[in-house]
Amino acid sequence: MIARCIKVVWCVVALSLLCMNARLYAAEGVIVSGHEEYAPFMWRQGDEIVGVGIDVVNIIFHDLGIQVTSRYVGPWKRILRKIELGEVDVLCGGYITDDRLKYMAFTEEPLSADPTAVFVWHSRSFPFASRDDLKGIRFGEVLGESQGQEFDAWRKKYASVEEVPTSILNIKKLEVNRIDAFVTGLYSGLLHIKKEGYAGRIIPLDHPVNTEYLHIGISKKSKYIQYLPQINRKLRELHRNGTIDRLIQYHLEHYSATQLGAAPR
């Protein structure tokens, strides 16, 4: 009799815990993540990702009546894996590639244009007029990143690419001449270099190597993929009314003020 009572009590406790976890999951709503160092679009702040991408996702899902939880889940490669597994619902900004399309659906409407630049050590700069000038270059690249699918393929054929877990390692390797250059978004690259104390020592070449577009991605295992048409419509509206442009300007100034110590204008 006592054993039966104990069993009943444990069943009640287990059921209560399950209900509690379900309520917590429901309260979290859509789980969103992004790159840990890609300002002004996304960057890590404690256990969260903040920036333009998160703000836009918040606006869109608020209109749908769905709670958003921003979460830092690790380096870029791990983020993509968690989206593939369905542990993260939404990527708040990324380039479209064939590999990512296997496990993510992307918005047709972009979040923003994103010119990408070749960054080099100032004393080892060189003229850059065409891709022929980049042949044979040793590039650094963060694991899982893309600088545009077509340019990724070109680099593998005509240059070399050494992968590292985090972007600060690219900076350190460039400083000691273990790589010749790295490629990243122009705006985020300039901000990150300044934050790490390398402004003026690491510089972009004369013009962007290409212009890619950041899109919002949704895991194909997420129940929120059904809202993709509404997300596209809202993105178009946010572009038309200038909201996204204003958010980019705000986060450029906010990042400078909070991460670089510069007062916003």
* Beta pairing partners, 118: 183
Instruction: List the one residue out of 74, 183, 56, 67 whose CA is nearest residue 119.
Output: 183
Provide the pLDDT for residue 28: 62
Residue 259's pLDDT is 85
- Say what the pLDDT of residue 87 is: 98
Rounded Cα distance between 129 and 136, Å, is: 15
DSSP 135: T
pLDDT, tens digit only, all 265 positions of the chain:
444 444 433 443 333 433 343 333 344 699 999 999 999 999 999 999 999 999 999 999 999 999 999 999 999 999 999 999 999 999 999 999 999 999 999 999 999 999 999 999 999 999 999 999 999 999 999 999 999 999 999 999 999 999 999 999 999 999 999 999 999 999 999 999 999 999 999 999 988 999 999 999 999 999 999 999 999 999 999 999 999 999 999 999 999 888 885 433 3
**Cα three-residue angle 90-93-95, rounded to 5 degrees:** 115
